[in-house]
Amino acid sequence: MLLFTKAQNKLKFTYDPITGSQITRELCFGCPNVSKPSKDIKEIEAVTEEDLQKFSPEDMISYYPNPVREELYLKWEVIDQNTISSIQVYSLTGQVLRNYTENTVSNSINIPFQDYANGVYLVQLNYVKGDQKTIKIIKQ
């Protein structure tokens, strides 16, 4: 029977509080693993209104989850026939990664994020009457 263990290497630095200069540097091999308490991952059977995030309580756009791992769910309400004409997913460098053109009947969309690298993305919603709304999404 083989037994595998994972050794951890840690560097510890100590600094002078007045000058900010480094005083000591320690390297520890096989330090005890101090783990952070893990967040309970919620299994999603159905998205409820409590799960949805909004910019403000009166906003008409809801999204879930943020941070996202695989898929972002967007939902919006149409007011005064100002429907969503398109949705773009942007990288922080401004590159358009995906463009969705919605029909006027739909008021929700699932956007896949599993193929994107971890980081921050912008989702821009464009309305028929020219308005725009941008949501910052974190991909984990």
CATH code assigned at 64: 2.60.40.3080
Number of domains making up the chain: 1
49 has pLDDT over 90: no
Supply the pLDDT for residue 38: 43
3-class SS of residue 9: strand
Does residue 117 lie within any of the structural domains? Answer: yes
**33 domain residue, yes or no:** no
- Residue 118 falls inside a structural domain: yes
Mapped onto helix, strand or coil, the DSSP state of residue 21 is: coil
Distance CA 140, CA 127 (A): 28
More confident site: 3 or 116: 116
Q: Which of 8-12, 86-90, 124-128 has the lowest mean pLDDT?
A: 8-12
pLDDT, position 106 = 74
Residue 34 confidence (pLDDT)? 47
**Domain extent at residue 100:** 50-139
Q: What pLDDT was estimated at residue 117?
A: 94
- Residue 9 inside a domain? The answer is no
Residue 6 lies in a domain: no
Rg, Å, the chain Cα set: 23
45: pLDDT strictly greater than 70: no
Q: Which residues contact 63 (CB under 8 A, 6 or more apart)?
A: 52, 53, 54, 72, 73, 74, 75, 123, 135, 137
> 100 vs 19, which has greater pLDDT?
100
- Assigned domain for 64 exists: yes
Q: Establish if 43 belongs to a structural domain.
A: no
pLDDT value of residue 23: 72
Compute the 3-state secondary structure of the chain and give helix, strand, coil in percent, each to the nearest 5: 0, 45, 55
Q: Is residue 34 part of a domain?
A: no
C-alpha to C-alpha distances, 45 to 40, 51, 53, 72, 137, nearest whole angstrom: 15, 12, 17, 15, 22
